[in-house]
């Protein structure tokens, strides 16, 4: 009888711990991204006096005004005269201090004909992109667990595409005229890692022999790529 009672108690405790474990897991996921604000706003300021939220100090609310939530210039085309033929104009917490803790930011992307936004990833945000001019071929590659499947689409003005957080993705202008797109990101500072720059342009450089084996290339080719990307 004592053993049955003990087993019943253990089962009740175990069952009660299940919802607690689920809640803890949900909370851990929620905390994995930009924290939700616990006040109307936390306008970022470089002053060390104040409360730090998500790496930024909060401006005294009494000193906050409209310019802390304002940016002008997304109507101006970016300069695409560069190696990849594109330009990203970023509007995140560094441009709009009022975005601090809001978990959102915006970019304008200009593409020269055949210009591209090369394969890259945003470690802290999902991206949703809308084309307003031109024709883009866009896509992302899923993780190793999903067999690195390519999800790609040709987009025209008015078309929208989503790049999930952390996935390697790209865009290329396949038209004969300049293209323009705008994208929202689910972070005040989503970050960006351009794959080629990170791998071949790291500082200090990654061992060429390691990259040669990883990419199935000759070490001399790797060294040439590292020289191009400024790693050596």
Q: List, for residues 11-55, the tens digit of each pLDDT value.
A: 554 555 555 544 444 444 444 466 666 567 788 887 665 555 556
Please give the annotated binding residues for oxalate, written as ranges: 117, 122, 127
CA nearest neighbour of 91 among 106, 78, 102, 103: 106
Q: In the chain, pLDDT over 90 holds for what percent of residues?
A: 72
Residue range 157-210, pLDDT digits in tens: 999 999 999 999 999 999 999 999 999 999 999 999 999 999 999 999 999 999
- Binding-site annotation: residue ranges: 117, 120, 122, 127, 169
For tokens 């394969």, the residue is 119
Separation of alpha carbons 81 and 77, rounded Å: 12
pLDDT cut 70: percent of the chain above it: 78
In this prediction, residue 8 has a pLDDT band, given cuts at 50, 70 and 90, of: low
Cite the annotated binding site for Mn(2+) by residue number.
120, 122, 127, 169
pLDDT exceeds cutoff 80 at 67 = yes
Which has the closest alpha carbon to 124: 34, 29, 43?
34
pTM, rounded to two decimals: 0.80
Position 25 scores a pLDDT of 43
Residues forming a β-bridge with 169: 120, 140
Q: What torsion, rounded to 10 degrees, do the Cα atoms 206, 209, 212, 213 define? A: -110
Average pLDDT, the chain: 86
Whether the predicted pLDDT of 92 surpasses 70: yes
Q: For the chain, how many residues are written?
A: 232
């Amino acid at each position: 009888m004592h053993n049955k009672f003990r087993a019943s108690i253990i089962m009740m405790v175990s069952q009660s711990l299940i919802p607690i474990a689920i809640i803890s897991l949900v909370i851990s996921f929620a905390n994995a991204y930009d924290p939700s604000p616990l006040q109307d706003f936390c306008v970022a300021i470089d002053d060390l006096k104040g409360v730090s939220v998500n790496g930024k100090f909060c401006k005294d609310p009494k000193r906050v005004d409209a310019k802390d939530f304002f940016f002008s210039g997304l109507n101006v085309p970016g300069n695409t005269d560069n190696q990849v033929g594109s330009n990203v104009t970023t509007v995140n917490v560094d441009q709009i201090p009022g975005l601090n803790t809001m978990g959102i930011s915006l970019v304008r992307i200009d593409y020269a004909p055949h210009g591209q936004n090369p394969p890259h990833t945003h470690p802290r945000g999902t991206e949703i992109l809308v084309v307003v001019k031109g024709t883009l071929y866009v896509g992302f590659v899923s993780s190793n667990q999903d067999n690195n499947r390519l999800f790609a689409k040709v987009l025209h003005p008015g078309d929208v595409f989503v790049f999930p957080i952390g996935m390697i993705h790209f865009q290329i202008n396949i038209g004969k005229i300049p293209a323009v797109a705008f994208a929202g990101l689910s972070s005040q500072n989503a970050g960006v890692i351009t794959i080629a720059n990170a791998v071949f342009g790291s500082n200090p450089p990654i061992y060429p022999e390691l990259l040669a084996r990883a990419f199935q290339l000759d070490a001399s080719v790797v060294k040439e790529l590292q020289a191009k990307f400024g790693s050596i």
